[in-house]
Structure 1
């Protein structure tokens, strides 16, 4: 980890010597002052340095890597080759992949570059045709990317910039074996950037394996959650949850609300119950087709649907402006999921409200969340707080399993000098520093 990298945080986007068409798009989007993660990450990223970035969700991490990539493409002008992308961005979910692709389109709307989105849930024909025409930026989910690699549709040997977005979520979803396999196909000389909402020990271990002498960019916060989100807990019996939800959604101050349930079946049933009460809702989860999920998101954006009911798998892929409320109908099993759920509101410096329903059986989940985020959540009805919360054996087993997993470190690349003293020759007219050679990672 670099602790002596000299850089000055950018004060505004105009002060950066960005590729002119990129600068023009940012001006049109009214991008004047960067968020903290952008101010710290973009200058070293433009220099070609590896980045390990950590900031709470909704703070502008996508622009922190998309802008340096587009700047690189603008100045270096690499030739888009069939099936051989120049930049690879990995995302854990298809919703997030689509969101990232939309960001590249907005920032690069005055540039000539090719982009391909690769994710499951749809037929691969359009994706393989796009790859075959040549692509500069490939945004992909790990599963579909490996499928296309196995079929010979993707060759990663020309990748110059590799980005892993939502690294902690990648590990939560069990993508580590896929990540290792993908990284072995990348060239030794490359720039890598990891972005995550948390820097758990497993993330640091992953960074030590995949990154070369990175700059650590951490945006401090009083808690892991966005500062503008008002977080409250409401204790109740399980049978009282729906009436409480209906009461909240019926108030005038709820413009857009995302309601999180623990199961897919629970999400479907909740939407049906809301519809019977005259509250328009739509469910989004892993069993829904890609087209169905996109239709639900668009209806939510257009305010044709007032409540979007989702499971944790979809939590990070939902990026809708103006979400006023996040309601945890069921407490999340994993405390990290709480951070990503409530991160759907209070984004980009705005305020939001997060309300969590907690039953006596969910007390252990609440305790784990409090321990993770390091703050005491405000309780609205202390008189209903269970006096002697019972710890279910199921919760204990889950907690034990999490602890066991966090202690297992597996193999780790601890080498500090092998193959790293040699650097590639500086490209002519390049404004970026050369990437250092690194030892390839073995799966």
Structure 2
């Protein structure tokens, strides 16, 4: 483990590093770990599967272990994430990497979708590290279950998704409760302009780390199949049956479609379940457990699952509906091809979605040849392109180009949040 040791990690952490199968540091780990150990703010940009969770977890644990104790179980670090699944994943990494420390840290997960009472009970006696979704964290604070005024480290993981999911107001409230002097770490696979502006407001002289595309991303084979919208479910069933895909993660646009497609697949004899935000936490957890264990062939998910779900050796991802943005396309296909494993990402491209897929290709700098499957040759034709709007017209353009109502609200909220963040970092 000399390569990790050379980054300045303490000997107590190295056995846990080895136990998790980490052999050599990834690019983002090599760049970020020494800077975090020195107390520097970090702005990290890395594709999914690059090892960014360990990149902030390892130095966070070491800084906690060596920090002076003014009180037992005083909250040292707060990690904010956008989804329940990502919270559980990050907490699991922190607990596993911290097992060799004496004493080991108390890591508490705070997420919605379940009763708040057990989480409040878990916080009795304090906590060293809290991993939370913003809404539930605020609920716990309002129940007087936690104080964050002494936090030494703040981590925002998947920061762009935090804004995209409407957490801007919650983040603003949380930031106001944090101490002015703290270390800030902001990690994400993408950095839209609003997140960049936010980071510039509340990070202090951050080290910017931009990891090159990972081996996993390079190993993802991307395919685009032309098919009529009405025949997508038939084609999906055909691919699962004929190609023998053992596990397939399918992305759709709406919760209703997730339920509908899952139902049709079950009727065709394929074990399938939907996965979306209206499901209770117990059901969502069970679906993931069954999927990881191979008891489910197909999970049909909304973009809720595009981040924070780490499924080892997932062979195939299918874009049944194309994602709204090119960034979401990256997060979706990044569920496969992880940890050096080869992966396959298949996108269904009906005639009505051709222009949008070309936009995704352009923004990602890729070109995916169009294919057709025998027996599923498309019959529909693309609609006539609308007249291109005049330059500067905010209401014109194709999908993905013009700002939607959600885009405008998100940009306004991010600007407000950035304005409140000035001067907080140290």
Where does 1:81-230 land on structure 2 (aligned, <5 Å)? 81=72, 84-111=74-101, 112-221=104-213, 226-230=217-221
Q: CA deviation at 1:413?
A: 6.5
Residue matched to 1:410: 415
The answer on 1:400 being equivalent to 2:384 is no
Residue matched to 1:428: none
Stretches of structure 1 lacking an aligned partner (at least 5 in a row): 1-9, 416-437
Q: TM-score, normalised by structure 2?
A: 0.88
Stretches of structure 2 lacking an aligned partner (at least 5 in a row): 387-394
Other structure's SS at 1:49 match:
coil
Q: CA deviation at 1:317?
A: 2.6
Q: CA deviation at 1:17?
A: 3.5
Where does 1:266-345 land on structure 2 (aligned, <5 Å)? 266-345=257-336
Tell me how far apart the structure 1 counterparts of residues 411 and 316 of structure 2 sit (CA, whole Å). Answer: 36
Q: In the superposition, relative to structure 1, how do residues 377 and 345 fare at CA in structure 2: closer, same or farther (>3 Å)?
A: same
Tell me how far apart the structure 2 counterparts of residues 71 and 241 of structure 1 sit (CA, whole Å). Answer: 50
Other structure's SS at 1:250 match:
helix
Tell me how far apart the structure 2 counterparts of residues 142 and 406 of structure 1 sit (CA, whole Å). Answer: 16
Tell me how far apart the structure 2 counterparts of residues 215 and 407 of structure 1 sit (CA, whole Å). Answer: 25
Tell me how far apart the structure 2 counterparts of residues 229 and 126 of structure 1 sit (CA, whole Å). Answer: 41
Tell me how far apart the structure 1 counterparts of residues 371 and 351 of structure 2 sit (CA, whole Å). Answer: 15
Deviations 1:406-425 (A, max 9, x none): 8767358799xxxxxxxxxx
**Residues 379-388 or 343-352, more deviating:** 379-388
Q: CA deviation at 1:151?
A: 2.2
Q: In the superposition, relative to structure 1, how do residues 253 and 55 fare at CA in structure 2: closer, same or farther (>3 Å)?
A: farther
Q: In the superposition, relative to structure 1, how do residues 379 and 385 fare at CA in structure 2: closer, same or farther (>3 Å)?
A: farther
Residue matched to 2:389: none
Residue matched to 1:238: 229
Determine if contact 2:198/2:415 at 8 Å carries over to the other structure.
no
Deviations 1:118-147 (A, max 9, x none): 000000111111222211110000111111
Tell me how far apart the structure 2 counterparts of residues 378 and 346 of structure 1 sit (CA, whole Å). Answer: 20
Residue matched to 2:391: none
Supply the RMSD in Å over aligned alpha carbons. 2.8
Tell me how far apart the structure 1 counterparts of residues 131 and 214 of structure 2 sit (CA, whole Å). Answer: 32
Determine if contact 2:7/2:30 at 8 Å carries over to the other structure.
no
Q: CA deviation at 1:440?
A: 2.8
Determine if contact 1:300/1:307 at 8 Å carries over to the other structure.
yes
Residue matched to 2:423: 439
Other structure's SS at 1:132 match:
coil
Tell me how far apart the structure 1 counterparts of residues 72 and 341 of structure 2 sit (CA, whole Å). Answer: 41
Q: In the superposition, relative to structure 1, how do residues 266 and 238 fare at CA in structure 2: closer, same or farther (>3 Å)?
A: same
Tell me how far apart the structure 2 counterparts of residues 137 and 50 of structure 1 sit (CA, whole Å). Answer: 18
Tell me how far apart the structure 1 counterparts of residues 201 and 362 of structure 2 sit (CA, whole Å). Answer: 28
Deviations 1:208-245 (A, max 9, x none): 1121100000013399x922111111111011111210
Q: TM-score, normalised by structure 1?
A: 0.85
Q: CA deviation at 1:311?
A: 0.4
